[in-house]
Amino acid sequence: MADKPSVLFVCVHNAGRSQMAAAWLNHLAGDRIEVRSAGSAPVDAVNPAAVEAMREVGIDMSAETPKILTVDAVKASDVCITMGCGDTCPVFPGKRYLDWKLDDPAGQGVDAVRPIRDAIRKLVEGLIEEIDASRNQPAGTNG
């Protein structure tokens, strides 16, 4: 990994799950980890229920906009996490790929988005622990 590890969150519309995951990672890891999010078929705006659910926990995503998934974004990331977009993420050697199985918040109200938000937080917390642990290993060890 580079000096600062980078994570890319990918879902189809880049409007709900990947935006919430990016917001959580930014919030919990600060500037220790570079964060990107993108979608294979991004929509025009972030899901308002996701924005509201995150606002409830003190995180403002209202200024975020969905972005298209690019090969460059994948190349620039150490970890690529997909969320319901299957095989649309290009695969490059030396990258770590994870697929998080999460319900899609599209078309859902804030009551349905809250448990997805909370599940994403737990996954992001685990990811931060893994990244921190791998960065604290002595050179030449496998973990």
Catalytic residue (one of 7, 8, 22, 85) = 85
How many degrees, rounded to 5, is the angle at CA 112 between CA 54 and CA 106?
A: 80
List the structure tokens of 130: 């893994």
3 state DSSP class of 10: strand
User: Using the 8-state DSSP alphabet, how is residue 138 labeled?
Assistant: P
Catalytic residue (one of 7, 10, 11, 74) = 11
Catalytic residue (one of 49, 59, 89, 102) = 89
Cα–Cα distance for residue pair 46/10, rounded to 1 Å: 14
Residue (of 129, 127, 113, 122) closest to 35 by Cα position: 127
Active site residue 89: yes
Active-site annotation, residues: 11, 85, 89
